[in-house]
Chains A and B, each alone.
Chain A
Amino acid sequence: MHALNDVSASFYQGEVVAVMGENGAGKSTLMKCLAGVHVPNEGSIYFDGKPVSIPNVNRATELGVAFIHQELNLADNLSVGANIFLGREPTKGGFIDRATIRSRTNRLIEQLGMQFTADTRVSDLSIGHQQMVEIAKALSQEARLLIMDEPTSSLTRHETDVLFELVRDLRAKGLCVVFISHRLAEVQEIADRVIVLRDGKNSGELPKERIDHDNMVALMVGRDLAFPEKKVTTLGKVLLDVQDLRVAHAPDERVSFQLRAGEVVAMAGLVGAGRTELARAIFGIDRIFGGTLKVDGTPVTIRDPRDAIAAGIAYVPEDRKQHGAIVEMTIRDNVVMAGLDRYQRLGFVQQDQHETVAVEAKEKLRIKAPTVAKEVGLLSGGNQQKVVLAKWISLGPKVFLLDEPTRGIDIGSKSEIYEVIEEMAEEGAAILYISSELEEVLRVADRILVMHEGQLAGELTGEEMTEERVMQLATGMDDSIS
């Protein structure tokens, strides 16, 4: 089994290159070969025109290759300075030379135009700022090739802008910045060149002027399947009725909305607007401070997720690996996890029934795995998310709360997940679709609710569903309210 098969790529100084491809296409593997995490079985790497071998990360650092992983590698209990010089602390008389660390770090931070200092604890920084610390670390090692794996996946729009500004600066200084991303719009915005991999091989390259959605998708999947045609929705009765809901995140705000059978309602907003907190409260994870909930016309009291499930509500959380699936367990055990009480007799689990339910779900959602006995952690992100969806679909809930269901998932799986969601709506479920990707929101939604600082800033339907209107409401710059 080879993750990479005869791939060639060159990177020049002073350019921003996006490496794209579906999950499993070999992007990360290629980058790991450059960063000394993996050693290629065959082939050669030239750096500055000279053949080099990069057997380990130290050698990569020496050459000037820095790799910023998607999951940041910071010791968040230590200060910014301590992190930047971790493992190569300057010393004076055998002791760590704090003064030097502080001054060098502060100089770097200044270069990056950041507000924090060398003594700030990393845990006090936002994810966006933590990423800046990683970049500062790379700069302190005099990196010339900076590789970033999905740097924007957990950043707000504003943080992304700051990051891109910095990337342009670095480019102007002659660095080569390589970044892996799934977000086509961002690639379009920042990249000078796009290298696309497919199934471990070169699929093609796009120069700046040819970078657009269709070309990228065509190279990645070989066919255009990004979004299914939106079908005309026939609206049924109100399945979820939220009145004056108050949650811990913003206890002074009251949120009211309704979801009808058969509709997909997107919930847009900036990161931190309180969308996840709202969904968590409705699902009984966080406390509800006030307000009423009705499911299918019946008032319900929800104290914990079990109550929510009993009422017919399902929640696909934002963080798939922490909250969605138990990745060490099998597909089968995960699919039946929320329904164990149904598939039991006198407290005994019914293994045969588990098998049937799981196999059915695997086929329905086209989960790619040899058997349902496969560990979920060994599946691709898209298939893991399908397992989480399968867990709920097998229970037949009335209301789905989906929180960023396609985050970090490749395009092929994304479109399959859109199809599944469409199908659930057609079968009469009501769907709340929380997403930070505007493109996605506009394509999947019948209606858009926009949140801003814990309150519903507005609702958009029909012609009003445009990127501009969503952003106006999400950033609180809409004149018609406030």
Chain B
Amino acid sequence: METQDPFLKRLVRGNQKTFGIIGLLLLIFVVTGLVERSYWSPANLMNMLRYIGLYGIIAIGVSFVIITGGIDLSIGALIGLTGVLFPMLLIEIMPDAPVLVAFAIILALSLVVGLVHGLLITKLRLQPFLVTLCGLFIYRGIARSVANDSTKGFGNDFTALRETLVKGELFGMIPMPFVIVLLIGVIAAVLLNMTTFGRYLLALGRNEQAARFSGIHTDRMKIYAYMICSCLAGFGGIMFVLDTNGATPSKFGNFYELWAISGAVLGGCSLRGGEGSIAGVICGAALVQVTTTAVFFLGVSDTHKFTVIGAFILIGVTVDELLNRYAARRRALV
């Protein structure tokens, strides 16, 4: 008979990485707070939760693509495009249409972008890095031309919408983006861990050939992954522009794909594919936010900010890799 390990043991075993990240998260949070008390102020806590939410959304998106063994570099540019298009739709192009229509248009556009990425990658066998790198240039270029290089925002309109989705808090304490990322996270986790689609993604990320030989439509699954990624990036674009109330087409969303990828990788996604948990990704996105904020609060000047963050992430992934190797050796001996 098979014996089942106790629930707790199984929980820990499947999620060592996530627990590691949470530990690191707490460490930075506590140490920074001890050095600089205002880091723990309610205002800063809410601020951090808000940005964990915003960046978490796009990190979850890219993790689907990373799990297939791919990458999406166009996220930031797509955020730039949707970030200028959304206010343009509401204010200039169709001021009388309901907000939901603008939402639908942006999301549909993003899905098409993901579909095109997926088709190019699977049917023409182009490399994901190249396809999405070209996407990065193209969407940035389109954003600048549709907006005629001018900043787009809502001015004093749509304050209710901005309040509901981004600026407001649930029960007066949990920022809406964080609530939204938790909702999306639950859906994504269910999709990844409890449905056949999720299982197919994990399998093809590990070994695409073996998955195909098992009758899995690997191409179709990969296309879905790119669509999910772009869709969440497009939604992220809406959220970010609602937050800032101003999207400059030449730089809005710049580098955001790198924050998303950092979050996903810190959260346990392997760039080799086949590995990743949504809870981990949200924690990874949180780690990135907590760290960047800590760097600010610890008084590191803006000049050195990126150096410190980069070095920190590098140390994080190195330790993670070493721990994994150790765990793999232990497992092989059992």
Shortest Cβ distance from A319 into B: residue: B209
**B196 adjacent to A326 (CB under 8 Å):** no
Residues of B within 8 A of A (CB-CB), count: 27
**B210 adjacent to A326 (CB under 8 Å):** yes
With A349-B196, A372-B2: A329-B213 Cβ-Cβ less than 8 Å: no
Residue from A283, A322, A348 within 8 A of B210 (CB atoms): A322
Interface of A is mostly: mixed
Residue from B2, B210, B331, B334 within 8 A of A323 (CB atoms): B210
**B200 adjacent to A340 (CB under 8 Å):** yes
The reply to whether the CB of B307 lies closer than 8 angstroms to some CB of chain A is no
| In the complex, per-residue mask of A333-350: 1 if CB is within 8 Å of any chain B CB, else 0 | 100011011001001110
Contacts A283-B213, A306-B217 supplied; 7 other A-B pairs, CB < 8 Å: A326-B207, A328-B207, A328-B274, A338-B215, A347-B195, A371-B2, A391-B214
Distance between Cα atoms of A371 and B5 in the complex (Å): 11
The reply to whether the CB of B332 lies closer than 8 angstroms to some CB of chain A is yes
Nearest CB in chain A: distance from B51 CB, A: 33
Shortest Cβ distance from A304 into B: residue: B217
A-B CB contact pairs (8 Å), 23 listed: A1-B333, A283-B213, A285-B212, A304-B212, A304-B215, A305-B214, A306-B215, A317-B213, A323-B213, A325-B210, A326-B211, A328-B274, A329-B202, A337-B210, A337-B211, A340-B199, A340-B200, A344-B195, A349-B194, A355-B2, A359-B2, A371-B2, A375-B331
List residues of B (243-289) whose CB comes within 8 Å of A's CBs.
274
The reply to whether the CB of B303 lies closer than 8 angstroms to some CB of chain A is no
Across-interface contacts of A344 in B (CB, < 8 A): 195-196
Chain A residues with a Cβ under 8 A of chain B = 1, 283, 285, 304-306, 308-309, 315, 317, 322-329, 333, 337-338, 340-341, 344, 347-349, 355, 359, 370-372, 375, 378, 391
**B195 adjacent to A349 (CB under 8 Å):** yes
Across-interface contacts of B195 in A (CB, < 8 A): 344, 347-349
Distance between Cα atoms of A173 and B19 in the complex (Å): 61
Across-interface contacts of A324 in B (CB, < 8 A): 210, 213
Shortest Cβ distance from A343 into B: residue: B196
The reply to whether the CB of B301 lies closer than 8 angstroms to some CB of chain A is no
Interface of B is mostly: helix
Point out which of A306, A325, A328 has the most chain B C-beta atoms below 10 A from its C-beta: A328
Distance between Cα atoms of A349 and B197 in the complex (Å): 9
Nearest CB in chain A: distance from B320 CB, A: 17
Residue from B197, B198, B202, B215 within 8 A of A305 (CB atoms): B215
Across-interface contacts of B197 in A (CB, < 8 A): 347
The reply to whether the CB of B162 lies closer than 8 angstroms to some CB of chain A is no
Shortest Cβ distance from B193 into A: residue: A349
List residues of B (163-219) whose CB comes within 8 Å of A's CBs.
194-200, 202-203, 206-207, 209-217
Shortest Cβ distance from B274 into A: residue: A328
Shortest Cβ distance from B190 into A: residue: A348
Nearest CB in chain A: distance from B271 CB, A: 15
Across-interface contacts of B216 in A (CB, < 8 A): 306, 337, 340
Shortest Cβ distance from A346 into B: residue: B195
Nearest CB in chain B: distance from A119 CB, A: 29
List residues of B (1-60) whose CB comes within 8 Å of A's CBs.
2-3
Across-interface contacts of B214 in A (CB, < 8 A): 305, 337-338, 391
Across-interface contacts of B207 in A (CB, < 8 A): 322, 326-328
List residues of B (291-334) whose CB comes within 8 Å of A's CBs.
331-334
Residue from A306, A328, A341, A378 within 8 A of B196 (CB atoms): A341
Nearest CB in chain A: distance from B114 CB, A: 20
Residue from A328, A348, A370 within 8 A of B206 (CB atoms): A328
Across-interface contacts of A315 in B (CB, < 8 A): 213
With A371-B2, A371-B3: A347-B210 Cβ-Cβ less than 8 Å: no
With A340-B200, A349-B195, A359-B2: A326-B215 Cβ-Cβ less than 8 Å: no
Nearest CB in chain B: distance from A402 CB, A: 13
Shortest Cβ distance from B213 into A: residue: A323
**B217 adjacent to A337 (CB under 8 Å):** no
Shortest Cβ distance from A310 into B: residue: B215
Shortest Cβ distance from A336 into B: residue: B199
Shortest Cβ distance from B332 into A: residue: A378
Point out which of A337, A347, A355 has the most chain B C-beta atoms below 10 A from its C-beta: A337
Across-interface contacts of A1 in B (CB, < 8 A): 333
